[in-house]
Amino acid sequence: KKNLVIAIDGYSSCGKSTLAKALAKKLGFIYIDSGAMYRAVTLYFLRNNINVADDAQVADALQHIELNFHSRDYESHITLNGEEVSDEIRLMPVSENVSEVSAHKLVRHEMVKQQQRMGKSKNIVMDGRDIGTTVFPDAPVKFFMTADPKIRAERRFKELESKGNNTTTLEEVFENLAHRDYADTTRKESPLVRAEDAIILDNTDLTQQEQLDFALEKVGPFL
């Protein structure tokens, strides 16, 4: 039987990864957080002062980046050249620069190539911005998630707080989400857009269990 890819796209902090993890756990699939890959590349660029306007520098940097996922309880842990960077990639310096880095054509080509390889012969749930449109346009099940921007900012703010961050304000989180949504939907290279065949899931008023039940019902016929 052929492997199954479930694609989840949508705006920033819509709960894509929460749903993706829950689905993967329930179905025994591998969860891949494509955003973590763009974030890890961004961290490398920041640390090494890579100028995104310089294509040669970007191309060279990409050759020196090795990303790996380590699944532990369906939490995605990512390493950058062997170093665990899962927490650092969630902080504001990366969040503020990731949309610019991820808009670069060479960065996208490399990440998409790696993502397609990961889904080749395995059952996976992958979340991101262009999974249903560019990475796996033939995925049989695609979700497009959205939620009220204020709710999204509050959720992300609470998440940062629970991780001990107390330097970033709710306003800054809101601004960052708005900025990333704008940048992600208006960029030239595979912008964030709903695939025609993606199922819309607005979770503003849904619990995590309700979202999981909804998604399982849609995935059911393909199992």
Question: Is position 11 annotated in a ligand binding site?
Answer: yes
Question: Is position 71 annotated in a ligand binding site?
Answer: no
Amino acid letter, 111 = M
Question: Is position 10 annotated in a ligand binding site?
Answer: yes
CA–CA gap between residue 162 and residue 159 (Å, rounded): 5
Nearer to ligand C5P, 29 or 156 (CB): 156
Nearer to ligand C5P, 4 or 107 (CB): 107
DSSP string of 46-103, one letter each residue: HHTT--TT-HHHHHHHHHT--EEEEEETTEEEEEETTEE-TTGGGSHHHHHHHHHHHT
Runs of H (alpha helix) within 121-202: 149-162, 170-186
Question: Is position 12 annotated in a ligand binding site?
Answer: yes
Nearer to ligand C5P, 102 or 146 (CB): 102
For residue 221, the 8-state DSSP code is G
Q: Give the binding site for ligand C5P (CB under 6 A).
A: 12, 34-35, 38-39, 98-99, 102, 128-131, 180, 184
Q: How far is the CB of 78 from ligand C5P (least distance, A)?
A: 11
Nearer to ligand C5P, 20 or 215 (CB): 20
The encoded tokens of residue 197 equal 């065949």
Q: How far is the CB of 43 from ligand C5P (least distance, A)?
A: 12
CA–CA gap between residue 105 and residue 120 (Å, rounded): 22
CB 152 within 8 A of CB 12: yes
Question: Is position 120 annotated in a ligand binding site?
Answer: no
Binding residues for ATP: 10-18
